[in-house]
Amino acid sequence: MFIVSLTYTCELDQIDQHLDAHVAYLHEQYKAGHFIASGRKVPRNGGIILATADSRETLENILQADPFYTENLAAYDIQEFIPSMVANGLEAIQEKA
């Protein structure tokens, strides 16, 4: 599992111009089963994506289709982690030892 932290590298008006395309991209990734949760950072200087992929390389390829990536609007920091404990209802994302 991965936490992807996006940090905007441009003004918010540029982000807003590409927001609809970015949201459409997010919907595609949810439908494909790659993304588990996502949302804006507070303050609004980027976003967070909780993602699943076979490997970091696979996730990097998935992220390269994001309009924020293709338009150079954000920097992406990817952190892999193993969810060894989860809340009730989230057992499907827990990794077993």
- Domain extent for 69: 2-80
Query: Would you say 97 and 84 are in contact if contact means Cβ atoms under 8 Å apart?
Result: yes
What's the pLDDT band for 71 if we cut at 50, 70, 90?
very high
Considering its fold, how many domains does the chain have in total? 1
CB atoms within 10 A of CB 73: 21
Assess if residue 60 is contained within a domain.
Answer: yes
pLDDT tens for each residue of 26-56:
999 999 999 999 999 999 999 999 999 999 9
Rounded to an integer, the average pLDDT of 15-22 is 98
Looking at residue 63, which CATH number applies to its domain? Answer: 3.30.70.1060
The mean pLDDT value for 78-90 works out to: 89
pLDDT score, position 96 = 58
Q: Does residue 76 form part of some domain?
A: yes
Residue 43 lies in a domain: yes
Asked if the model's pLDDT at residue 97 lies above 60, the reply is: no
Residue 41's SS3 state is: coil
| Domain-embedded: residue 73 | yes
Question: What's the sign of the alpha-carbon dihedral 66, 70, 72, 78?
Answer: positive
Per-residue confidence (pLDDT) for residue 42, from 0 to 100: 98
